Structure 1
Amino acid sequence: MTDTTFRCADAARDRDDPMVGTAAPARRWLLIEHPGPWAPEAFAESGIERGVQEQLRSAAGASGARILLVRRPGRADPQRGPRAWAVVDHASGVPSVWGTWTEDGDLLDAALALDPERAPVGPVHAAEEPVLLVCTHGRHDTCCAIRGRPVAAALAQRWPDWTWECSHVGGDRFAANVVLLPDGAYYGYLDAESAVRVVEQHLAGRVDADFLRGLSTEPPVVQAAVVEALRQWGPVGARTFRSVHLEALDDGGWRVELAGQPGAGVPDRVGLTVRRATRAAAQLTCRAGGPAASTTYEVVDARVLGPTSPDAAG
């Protein structure tokens, strides 16, 4: 019998839905190890005491952080020892702060770690290793589990200490979705084979722009400009270009200027014109109650505004 169950990721591929400019905004991240099962609203229904949740939400909101539940691939025993938490900050470039929790109240150290003026009470350590997050939140969207778990397993085999399954990151129809921290780089439309290749290239400073949804630290318009710059003048690292000017145009578009990293073999300054469009309504997630329109961003002009730095990227 043919399976006629609707799958949003299959439908998005059939429609060829663009994913550029769809990275959910976040400048910091609070990761809380929690074995699950994760409810549709993972953090709110995690069983963590409401008072602790409220303090974590307040601290996260004040510092621009996003809260995600994470777990190691493979469904670890929920009764094992202390679980991890981490604060990852790619806005300031400081190392990630990691701690552990056994009782819910231990997580208040994570709230303190979100405040740069206050130090956690419990033992913590700093780490500069990347974090690889794979959305496998099946009760939020089935496609995230179906497509995400094989990707998480493949990445965990290659980078066991860095890889975590995570709760909803946005863009279910682009599953499998992978977020690389601390860069805040969102990748989508991955499978087990392409994910390993894309992550290897990212860690080597050679971003594959074909799979890049955007950088979570930038607004969608700038995300689109950065992806196009990486496509045209790469392969280079995710943070090779930074936004220095954003201007709304009279015709509804935007002019984005990006500065290139000195010595990276890219132009010192580039200008890109970005247009926004609305696609026809479609069912965008497996659990959606009906069709909805989606927004896309397209770069219609890209040009060099300054010279290219002399040291060409490898």
Structure 2
Amino acid sequence: MTAADRFFCAEAARTRADSLAGTAPYGSVWVLVEYRGGWPPNGFDGLDLDPDTKGLVFSAAQAVRARVLLIRRHGRNSPEGPKRWAVLHYENSGAYRQQWGTWSRDQDLAQVAEALGAPGELGCPPVVLVCAHGQHDTCCAVRGRPVGRALSERWPDLVWECTHVGGDRFAANVVVAPDGVYYGGLDAASSVAVIEDHLAGRIHAEYLRGYTDLFPPQQAALSAVLRRFGPAGRHDYEVVETSREDSRWRIRITGRSPRPTAFDVEVHSHRTPPYQLTCRGLSMSSAAVYEVTSIGVG
């Protein structure tokens, strides 16, 4: 098979014009484990670690629905010495907490389980995660690594490459944590502009997949508000009410002045025809789509 004959899920998604809005997975806790060697296709689960420690971390993460990601600096240019780990928490109040540590032996990762039950520290800068997990999906490497390089050159202390974050067909995917904001369809130039705006409190709809503390129809509704009324900060809008009737959702969003104080957004959900959604997955699957049909202001 030649390169021209290969299937790339991100190219196919762009050809179909797959919608980004409403595709961020739900969650508010992240576990990051620095690993400088090759990443197995299934990430942390595939590491050859002490089984008792690995089981302890997995169970503690599962109990709070935390996503466990392997991380490394772009190009694997990490300094010598102990590797780092982190537990990141996003709170409904808008505050977020982080706890960082180091590990040299497998058993050191038991600290992760303890940190998952601790409050963590306020005031740490956000973490910018770029999915570059080529062993999981080709597009994540082909599209993710140039983005990782561009962002690392601009913010070397904030940016890490990471394992699978979901939505391979939207590569390059970038997650700002623990804000819980997913961006997709990025390249080197657009990623720098998007993260620069994000850090300045301006989230745009163009590359936004969603906020991870919201469910997909809520994410789509908020994205539509941002698209119509312009960029806003992470906490400038709040979903205050959600109702559903069959495949239709009605979502009320309130905003801070000087924006209109409330919006009633109607969302219709449907499924696409079956497609090949990942580079490596040969089976055909349909995807849920959340289409905004109206936005009422008042």
Which residue in 2 is equivalent to 1:189? Answer: 185
Output the CA distance in 2 between the equivalents of 1:136 and 1:178. 10
Which residue in 2 is equivalent to 1:132? Answer: 128
Question: What SS does the corresponding residue of 1:44 show, helix, strand or coil?
Answer: helix
Instruction: Write the letter of the residue equivalent to 1:108.
Output: A
Which residue in 1 is equivalent to 2:297? Answer: 304
Within the candidate set 102, 105, 113, 1:103 is matched to 105
Give every structure 1 segment of 4 or more consecutive aligned residues whose post-TM-superposition deviation is greater than 3 Å. Answer: none
Within the candidate set 112, 115, 131, 1:113 is matched to 115
Summarize the alignment of residues 1-314 of structure 1 with structure 2, pairs less than 5 Å apart. 3-76=4-77, 80-91=80-91, 93-116=95-118, 128-249=124-245, 251-260=246-255, 262-263=256-257, 265-305=258-298
Output the CA distance in 1 between the equivalents of 2:168 and 2:225. 25
1:65-111, Cα deviation, whole Å (9 max, x unpaired) = 11111000012369x21011111111252431111111111111111
- Give the superposition deviation at 1:14: 0.9
Is there any run of 5+ residues in structure 1 with no aligned partner, and where?
120-124, 306-314
- Give the superposition deviation at 1:63: 2.0
Question: What SS does the corresponding residue of 1:95 show, helix, strand or coil?
Answer: strand
Output the CA distance in 1 between the equivalents of 2:48 and 2:214. 33
Which residue in 2 is equivalent to 1:309? Answer: none
- Give the superposition deviation at 1:238: 2.5
Output the CA distance in 1 between the equivalents of 2:200 and 2:28. 22
Label 1:128 to 1:2 Cα distance change in 2 as closer, same or farther (>3 A): closer
Indicate if the aligned counterparts of 1:20 and 1:297 stay in contact, CA closer than 8 A: yes
In the alignment of these two chains, the number of paired residues is 295
- Give the superposition deviation at 1:295: 1.0
Instruction: Write the letter of the residue equivalent to 2:18.
Output: D
1:202-235, Cα deviation, whole Å (9 max, x unpaired) = 1111112110000111111111111112222221
Output the CA distance in 1 between the equivalents of 2:292 and 2:225. 10
Indicate if the aligned counterparts of 2:72 and 2:78 stay in contact, CA closer than 8 A: no
Indicate if the aligned counterparts of 1:97 and 1:126 stay in contact, CA closer than 8 A: no
Output the CA distance in 1 between the equivalents of 2:240 and 2:134. 39
Indicate if the aligned counterparts of 1:90 and 1:182 stay in contact, CA closer than 8 A: yes
Instruction: Write the letter of the residue equivalent to 1:257.
Output: R
TM-score, normalised to structure 2, is 0.94
Output the CA distance in 2 between the equivalents of 1:284 and 1:217. 24
Instruction: Write the letter of the residue equivalent to 1:51.
Output: D
Q: Percent identity?
A: 45
- Give the superposition deviation at 1:2: 6.3
Indicate if the aligned counterparts of 1:134 and 1:178 stay in contact, CA closer than 8 A: yes
Is there any run of 5+ residues in structure 2 with no aligned partner, and where?
none
Question: What SS does the corresponding residue of 2:4 show, helix, strand or coil?
Answer: coil
Indicate if the aligned counterparts of 1:183 and 1:239 stay in contact, CA closer than 8 A: no
Indicate if the aligned counterparts of 2:22 and 2:209 stay in contact, CA closer than 8 A: yes
Give the aligned CA root-mean-square deviation in angstroms.
1.7
- Give the superposition deviation at 1:127: 5.2
- Give the superposition deviation at 1:136: 0.3
Indicate if the aligned counterparts of 2:70 and 2:163 stay in contact, CA closer than 8 A: yes
Instruction: Write the letter of the residue equivalent to 1:226.
Output: L
